[in-house]
């Protein structure tokens, strides 16, 4: 049996000191948004308790689907590296970037140089994405939808070149009989992806790649809400599962911090996959089992 924990949208708080020169870019809009809204919604103490609860489950791997930082300041990137070390070593923790991790030009490159071992695995060539982590008969495929966008946009996109590599990886792993889990920050489902400002640009090409090659599950973040949907796969629908922001405090407008825990094993020729969602209720500071269901 393989156990995978999934968290997303960490948005490490508080912000470090912001210099005026740092705001001569898109960061000015993110800084104002943080001061007016997110500083009240994101709590580091509640996330710490959630992470400790998750680590007590002793998952084989922890998947983080992006937005570790807020403005992609250099000090934030260093903090993200230190925070990831508290989760576990790079072979036990895998990360894909979100739009905040690529907030301004050059930020994603700095993140790759700083905590790149957490965003790495087997690749087809010199490109870092998609990468593959294999855990027994489970294969985790990390994709990047993180791109630089204009102010007031939080959209993502997976390039055609990356989609070509993704299709080849899914084909090879599918033929080998792996349970294929795709990690991406932006959800590919039409109901989420269609937003020009917030969605996944050219999401239909991502969905076509999955429909042609198949996958067993897609995990994402970005919406700050827990969700379960699906997109067409190769002969069967592919579950698409989102998780609420890990740092969202109870009592806010967003769903409070949660994580999902998946248990995956092969029973004869069939897969068994169950999901349990743990996290805060909208009121109170207790972490509870909120949902349990069978995916396969």
Residue 274, beta-bridge partner list: 263, 294
Beta strand 200-201 with 156-157: parallel, antiparallel or unpaired? parallel
| Tens digits of residue pLDDT in 28-61 | 676 666 665 665 566 678 899 999 999 999 999 9
Q: How many whole angstroms separate alpha carbon 37 and alpha carbon 253?
A: 10
Look up residue 115 and give its two tokens: 């905590």
Do residues 142 and 121 touch, judged by C-beta distance below 8 A? yes
What does the alpha-carbon distance between residue 161 and residue 184 come to, in Å, rounded to a whole number? 16
Q: How many CA atoms lie within 13 A of 137 on its CB side?
A: 18
Task: Report the alpha-carbon distance of residue 221 to residue 98 in Å, rounded.
Answer: 8
Name the strand (E) or helix (H) holding 33: helix 27-33
- Residue 26 CA: distances (Å) to CA of 154, 155, 162: 11, 14, 26
Per-residue pLDDT tens over the stretch 127-150: 999 999 999 999 999 999 999 999
* Residue numbers of the chain with a pLDDT score lower than 50: none
* pLDDT at site 133: 98
Q: Positive or negative, the Cα torsion across 64, 204, 228, 174?
A: negative
Rounded to two decimals, the pTM is 0.95
Q: Could you report the per-residue pLDDT of 7-30, keeping only the tens digit for each? A: 999 999 887 787 777 666 788 676
Note whether 206 and 249 are within 8 A (CB).
Answer: no
- Spatial distance between the Cα atoms of 276 and 181, rounded to a whole number of angstroms: 16
């Amino acid at each position: 049996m393989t156990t995978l924990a999934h968290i997303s949208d960490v948005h490490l708080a508080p912000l470090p000191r912001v210099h005026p020169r740092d705001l001569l870019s898109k960061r000015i809009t993110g800084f104002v948004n943080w001061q007016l809204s997110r500083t009240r919604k994101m709590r580091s103490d509640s996330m710490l308790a959630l992470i400790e609860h998750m680590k007590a489950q002793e998952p084989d791997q922890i998947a983080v689907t992006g937005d570790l930082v807020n403005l992609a300041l250099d000090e934030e990137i260093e903090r993200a590296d230190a925070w990831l070390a508290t989760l576990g070593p790079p072979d036990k923790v895998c990360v894909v970037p979100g739009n905040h991790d690529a907030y301004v030009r050059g930020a994603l490159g700095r993140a790759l140089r700083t905590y790149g071992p957490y965003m790495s695995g087997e690749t087809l060539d010199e490109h870092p994405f998609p990468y593959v982590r294999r855990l027994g008969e489970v294969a985790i495929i990390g994709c990047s939808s993180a791109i630089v966008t204009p102010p007031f946009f939080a959209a993502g996109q997976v390039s055609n070149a990356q989609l070509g590599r993704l299709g080849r990886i899914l084909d090879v792993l599918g033929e080998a009989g792996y349970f294929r889990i795709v990690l991406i920050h932006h959800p590919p489902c039409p109901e989420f992806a269609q937003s020009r400002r917030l969605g996944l640009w050219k999401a239909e090409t991502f969905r076509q790649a999955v429909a042609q090659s198949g996958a067993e599950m897609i995990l994402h973040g970005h919406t700050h809400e827990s969700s379960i949907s699906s997109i067409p796969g190769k002969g069967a629908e592919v579950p698409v599962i989102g998780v609420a922001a890990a740092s969202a405090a109870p009592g806010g407008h967003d769903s409070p911090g949660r994580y999902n825990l998946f248990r995956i094993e092969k029973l004869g020729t069939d897969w068994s996959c169950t999901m349990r969602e743990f996290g805060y209720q909208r009121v109170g500071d207790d972490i509870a089992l909120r949902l349990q269901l069978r995916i396969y």
